[in-house]
Structure 1
């Protein structure tokens, strides 16, 4: 049964999906981005890994849901483009962007200067790392030092893995036992491992850990660690500039804050400026 579940998750994450029928048609207006800057004419193709409820996930009907999905669909609408989503593991997103498989990474990728040298990035959302424990918090994790020696799961290749390794190294430098870090293809599999007792904690982000806590699945025992802005990422500077304008418009009319408030997410500072190679 567990193998079947993991196979289903893997299949879902490699399947291109389109916006719901009610949202699939772009409005009758002139697209703000030329087709030469897009993977598909008249379409905004976005990559996402829908394993992070409530920000991006698949509901019981197999539909993409969450704050980032709503944001991407609204951005496409305001650009007069048809939204299209590709479900893919995070580790494939940056190479796929460079290979023109999609126009925009819409998965809350954490901003770093290294990444901004490779692609166009717009910081739009504030986030921080959080730790979820097994139900009942049997390891009694109350502070960072309590992570010493535990087996912890995290998604492969992301900011969360980097921060987990930094925390583990800091523990070791202070004479404590480092964590045993296990990486997984995505957060859904990492949390499944926590449920199965294969790891003792999982590193994710605040909003995701809070959602699992709210559901009564896994308590969020630590949060607010290493706050860092998340970003949208692009290959095309032209597209990035237009998306930046849309975010500024949404911020001015209050719709962006209203969306973020519904999900308990904070706006990043910086005015949605595009940062990347010229």
Structure 2
């Protein structure tokens, strides 16, 4: 009795379940052989795909370089990357210095424009020679101004003006009261002496003023010439240093471009080697 109950509770599964599954898989009007044949064809196609993939992997494995070469390429890639970063930092520093030099050059050009005018290059003749022509022309203009000043304050002009003044005064006095000109000769003599004293004092003052102006202008010319010469030497030195730095920067750029090309070639080669 106990054995019958155990068999009843733990019976074997029937084969009808498998036939039901096959009935679900197959289409209406297909037999079990057709279903199995279709599944077999699908498996064959999968096997063919896997076989082709295995052959391709074997080919890539045969073309793969050795591990030592891959490690050497990786090390060279890291070294070139570090070198490229250092070159880029050096290029940035050189470009910053170049910008500073250009800004300083613009500032000096502005100072030269304030001192010598807009056409200071042609005036000072900085590229080939010194700026003596500009200083000479400026001194000529200043000399012409000094000559005009001296003529305006010369004894001839003063005496001419005083003579004209005295003549007009004498004419007016003679026309208005002619008897008084003959009645007061002593007063006329005193007036003439006073006029001569005033004229001599004005001449001395004009000479002193002209001498002071000429001395001051000469000092200003000498100071301006020294300042322009210093600025010229400074500009020439900066130009020479700028050319030297540009040459060094061009060489560094060539080296950086060469390293960049090597790095790009390694970048193209390295992923292929790693994928293999």
* TM > 0.5 fold call: no
Q: Which of 1 and 2 has higher RCO (CA within 8 Å, sep 6+)?
A: 2
TM-score range, shorter chain: under 0.3
Give TM-score, length-normalised by structure 1: 0.19
Identify the structure with the greater helix proportion: 2
